[in-house]
Structure 1
């Protein structure tokens, strides 16, 4: 701190003299110009190197930061390109899945139609078989009713015509028939 004050006193002495008023002191020994030039030279030589070193370090740091930023930008570009490629692949895959889904849906539709047609044909066959069975049952019932009615009429006729002469003639005819076959 004293050096700073001494330097200020010396500057004021150079510029203003010893209080005699305003003027320039031309006495080299009193103004201490030699000391000032030595101090300025030392400050410039040591301070200049430090300042140069500081500026060089700052320059290297800035260059390193720029290189790192360039590297990060390249990495970001590569990641962006990879992401775009993945997006394109995903879109292609999604399109394939949609197409496959459409094809599968169409195949399922055709399969359902064929299955329904087969079921309809089977049901038609069952219907025809059921109709034939019902017709056979109806014919069987009608036949049984006709036979029952015919038997009833025959019985009725037999009962109406069943007198003793008729029975005797039937019995005689059967006896004659069986006697022919006697061996």
Structure 2
């Protein structure tokens, strides 16, 4: 309807010539007429298609917008979950760090106690070893002194033992034995 009204308005405003209907050589007038005819035909015939195309495009844009909003909401939810996980991880890391410090303190105390125990044990072992070495040295010195004394006595006996001394020692021992028997 709009198209036919526009064309009638356009044609009614054109001056009617004496010549009637025929070839118009004025380019400006014919271009305006042709353009208005083409626009009218396009609007009347293609208007519904253009409206449908624009409506489809509008629906597609709205659908894309809704999908983008949905993805945005989903991303925000995932971000929130990830943030919560990060916070949980931070708390867990703090707990692990505190446990590690406690464990290190306990291990340090245990090693300190073991070190003290081992130091005392080694000190005792050192004292026992020193006493053993001292006793061993005393025994060796005593053995050497005894051996030296025995050697000296043997030397004195060999050098002083004469036949007369030998007889006198034997007689003395015999007298002692007789006195014991009585």
* TM-score exceeds 0.5: yes
State the match for 1:141 in structure 2. Answer: 140
Q: How far is 1:79 from its partner?
A: 0.9
What does the per-residue CA deviation read over 1:137-173, in whole Å, with 9 as the maximum and x for residues that have no partner? 2211232233234334544554565333332122123
What does the per-residue CA deviation read over 1:107-153, in whole Å, with 9 as the maximum and x for residues that have no partner? 33223323322332232122112211121122112322332343345
Residue 54 of structure 2 is aligned to residue 52 of structure 1:
no
State the match for 1:162 in structure 2. Answer: 161
State the match for 2:110 in structure 1. Answer: 111
What does the per-residue CA deviation read over 1:16-35, in whole Å, with 9 as the maximum and x for residues that have no partner? 32278xxxxxxxxxxxxxxx
State the match for 2:63 in structure 1. Answer: 64
Q: How far is 1:81 from its partner?
A: 0.8
Which deviates further from its counterpart, 133-142 or 68-77? 133-142
Distance 1:151 1:44, change over 3 A: closer
Q: Which ranges of structure 1 fall in alignment gaps of 5 or more residues?
A: 1-6, 21-35
Q: Which ranges of structure 2 fall in alignment gaps of 5 or more residues?
A: 1-6, 20-35
What does the per-residue CA deviation read over 1:56-85, in whole Å, with 9 as the maximum and x for residues that have no partner? 323322321221122111101111011101
Q: How far is 1:181 from its partner?
A: 7.9
- C-alpha separation in 1, matches of 2:158 and 2:76: 119
- The DSSP-based 3-state class of the residue aligned with 1:16 is coil
TM-score, scaled to structure 2: 0.65
Counterparts of 1:122-141 in structure 2, within 5 Å, are 122-141=121-140
State the match for 1:78 in structure 2. Answer: 77
TM-score, scaled to structure 1: 0.65
RMSD (Å) for aligned C-alpha atoms: 3.5
- C-alpha separation in 2, matches of 1:43 and 1:149: 145
- C-alpha separation in 2, matches of 1:148 and 1:99: 72
Highest RCO, 1 vs 2 (Cα 8 Å, sep ≥ 6): 2
How many residue pairs get aligned? The number is 156
Q: How far is 1:96 from its partner?
A: 2.3
Which deviates further from its counterpart, 71-80 or 51-60? 51-60
- C-alpha separation in 1, matches of 2:141 and 2:115: 38
